[in-house]
């Protein structure tokens, strides 16, 4: 454990604990969310809108919260209020009686994510030495995904063992969300003076390689539509094998399995990127992601669903933390909030389009979204080599770029 945490500050652990409890809350809801949407009368387009529109609204806020956290030299305050506002919004989910109301509240809940994400990731990158930055993001992703495992398992036990309704499960999850606030009281940060520059200036002066990386990350995000189509696809297949209640429980357990793999491999994937390079790690992640979607387009057995949900988890372990760490590599510490805000904004907006495209394709054929996603992600894997690895001047010891 001492070796694992070498170069890792306590902020990494505290922010990881906060993410753990927030994901217990969020994933308890997410595990049953597509079935809840269908129970409210929603179809493929409703799932695409709810899965994508809320994230896109949050994406607009990410660039501003990242910029303002740089400008005032404070990031913790954005992280706290981001978690708090999301927890408040979740309390109203159980009282929705049509999918339009749920769409509005999901957007409100995602505002909190928009406020906290870029400042939190900037705080993570500042709290770790650049030589172990991949590991730091991997540890955070691991704790986040471990919370997802516990949350999805909680949803399963509440549904299967205690026979809770969807609404009761969501209410329990909303209450758990407030626990995520407590570790933040012990997070420490040094106040920077801030650049005081305008957003336009800050974005124009981001490195050229960072902008190229944004293009590739955005391209991949066009394949990264909402997970809810994977759960819905597995439920449709399970309907032909199991009773209606078990056909809901099995996709929830498959989602748990995905998060177990994601959690187990997040730290090794971060360490792997520190050793071989983030570009190479992302190439592997994008490639596995594409192969996984090819599988989802064709499989019709429980055994293969177990295999491909595991591959889905491995792909996310290689992609999620390393994408953020790679974005952090291109910019100096005092402008990292702005850069990460732009990064999250770009990929979130393209993810909205991905979810809407997937929703349209789903209504035509349940295989079509996965074939589309596979093609885009495999092309992104080739395009990642267009981007050159980079380190800031400070991390090079003051040498010229």
Residue 8 β-bridge partners: 128
Number of domains in the chain: 1
What pLDDT was estimated at residue 401? 36
Higher pLDDT, 317 or 207: 317
User: What predicted TM-score, i.e. pTM, was given to this entire model?
Assistant: 0.82
Query: Would residue 400 count as lying in a domain?
Result: no
Query: Would residue 40 count as lying in a domain?
Result: yes
Cβ count within 10 A of residue 332 = 13
Is the pLDDT reported for residue 161 higher than 90?
yes
Q: What does the pLDDT look like over 328-346, one tens digit per residue?
A: 888 877 677 778 878 878 8
Q: What does the pLDDT look like over 166-205, one tens digit per residue?
A: 999 999 999 999 999 999 999 988 766 555 445 444 456 6
What pLDDT was estimated at residue 191? 63
CA angle 257, 261, 265 (to 5 degrees): 170
Q: What does the pLDDT look like over 262-305, one tens digit per residue?
A: 989 998 999 999 899 999 999 999 999 999 999 999 999 999 99
What are φ and ψ of residue 42, in 5° steps? Answer: -85, 150
Cα–Cα distance measured from residue 132 to residue 273, given in angstroms and rounded to the nearest whole number: 9
Would you list the DSSP string of 31-62? TTHHHHHHHTT--HHHHHHHHHHHHHHHHHHH
Most confident of 54-58, 63-67, 306-310, 322-326: 306-310
As a whole number, mean pLDDT of residues 92-96 equals: 96
Query: Would residue 1 count as lying in a domain?
Result: no
Query: Would residue 196 count as lying in a domain?
Result: no
Query: Would residue 197 count as lying in a domain?
Result: no
Task: Tally the residues of the chain.
Answer: 401
Reported as a pLDDT band with limits 50, 70 and 90, residue 14 is very high
What pLDDT was estimated at residue 197? 46
Query: Would residue 195 count as lying in a domain?
Result: no
What pLDDT was estimated at residue 203? 55
Query: Would residue 77 count as lying in a domain?
Result: yes
Among residues 181, 217, 263, the alpha carbon closest in space to that of 59 is found at 217
Q: Is the dihedral of CA 352, 61, 317, 156 positive or negative?
A: negative
The residue assigned the tokens 């999250």 is 344
Cα–Cα distance measured from residue 371 to residue 368, given in angstroms and rounded to the nearest whole number: 5
What pLDDT was estimated at residue 378? 98
Residue 128 β-bridge partners: 8
What pLDDT was estimated at residue 290? 98
As a whole number, mean pLDDT of residues 356-364 equals: 93
What pLDDT was estimated at residue 400? 35
Q: What does the pLDDT look like over 44-83, one tens digit per residue?
A: 889 988 888 877 777 778 777 877 888 888 899 999 999 9
Q: What does the pLDDT look like over 239-272, one tens digit per residue?
A: 998 999 999 999 999 999 998 999 899 989 999 9
Is the pLDDT reported for residue 309 higher than 80?
yes
> What's the domain range around 36?
10-183+206-386
What pLDDT was estimated at residue 6? 62
What pLDDT was estimated at residue 398? 44
Is the pLDDT reported for residue 395 higher than 60?
no
Higher pLDDT, 354 or 200: 354
Cα–Cα distance measured from residue 353 to residue 158, given in angstroms and rounded to the nearest whole number: 34
Cβ count within 10 A of residue 98 = 11
Q: How far apart are the first and last CA of the chain?
A: 35
Q: What is the CATH number of the domain that holds 236?
A: 1.20.1250.20
User: Residue by residue, what is the 3-state secondary structure of 120-185?
Assistant: HHHHHHHCECHHHHHHHHHHHHHHHHHHHHHHHHHHHHHHHCCCCCHHHHHHHHHHHHHHHHHHHH
Query: Would residue 396 count as lying in a domain?
Result: no
């Amino acid at each position: 454990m001492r070796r694992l945490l070498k170069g890792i500050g306590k902020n990494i652990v505290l922010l990881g604990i906060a993410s753990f409890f927030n994901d217990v809350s969020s994933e308890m809801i997410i595990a049953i969310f597509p079935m809840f949407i269908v129970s409210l009368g929603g179809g493929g387009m409703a799932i695409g809108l709810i899965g994508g529109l809320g994230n896109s609204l949050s994406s607009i806020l990410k660039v501003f919260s990242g910029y303002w956290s740089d400008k005032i030299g404070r990031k913790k305050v954005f992280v706290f209020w981001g978690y708090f506002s999301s927890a408040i919004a979740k309390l109203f989910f159980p009282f929705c009686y049509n999918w339009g109301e749920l769409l509005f509240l999901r957007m409100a809940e995602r505002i909190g994510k928009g406020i906290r994400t870029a400042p939190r990731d900037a705080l993570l990158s500042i709290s770790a030495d650049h030589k172990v930055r991949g590991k730091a993001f991997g540890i955070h992703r691991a704790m986040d995904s471990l919370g997802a495992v516990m949350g999805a398992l909680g949803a399963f036990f509440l549904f299967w063992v205690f026979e809770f309704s969807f609404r009761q499960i969501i209410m329990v999850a909303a209450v758990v969300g407030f626990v995520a606030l407590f570790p933040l009281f012990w997070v420490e940060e040094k106040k920077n003076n801030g650049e005081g520059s305008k957003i336009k200036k800050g974005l124009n002066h981001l490195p050229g390689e960072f902008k190229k990386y944004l293009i590739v990350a955005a391209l991949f995000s066009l394949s990264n539509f909402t997970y809810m189509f994977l759960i819905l696809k597995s439920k449709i297949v399970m309907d032909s094998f199991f009773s209606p209640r078990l056909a809901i429980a099995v996709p929830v357990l498959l989602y748990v399995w995905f998060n177990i793999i994601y959690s187990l491999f997040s730290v090794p994937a971060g360490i792997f990127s520190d050793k071989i390079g983030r570009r190479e790690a992302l190439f592997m992640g994008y490639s596995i992601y594409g192969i996984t979607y090819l599988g989802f387009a064709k499989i019709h057995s429980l055994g293969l669903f177990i295999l491909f949900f595991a591959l889905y988890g491995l792909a996310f372990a290689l992609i999620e933390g390393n994408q953020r760490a790679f974005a952090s590599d291109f910019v100096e510490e005092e402008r990292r909030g702005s850069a990460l805000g732009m990064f999250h904004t770009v990929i979130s907006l393209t993810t909205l389009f991905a979810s809407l495209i997937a929703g349209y394709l789903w209504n035509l054929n349940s295989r079509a979204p996965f074939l589309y996603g596979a093609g885009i992600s495999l092309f992104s894997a080739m395009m990642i080599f267009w981007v050159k690895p980079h380190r800031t001047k400070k991390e090079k010891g003051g040498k010229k770029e």
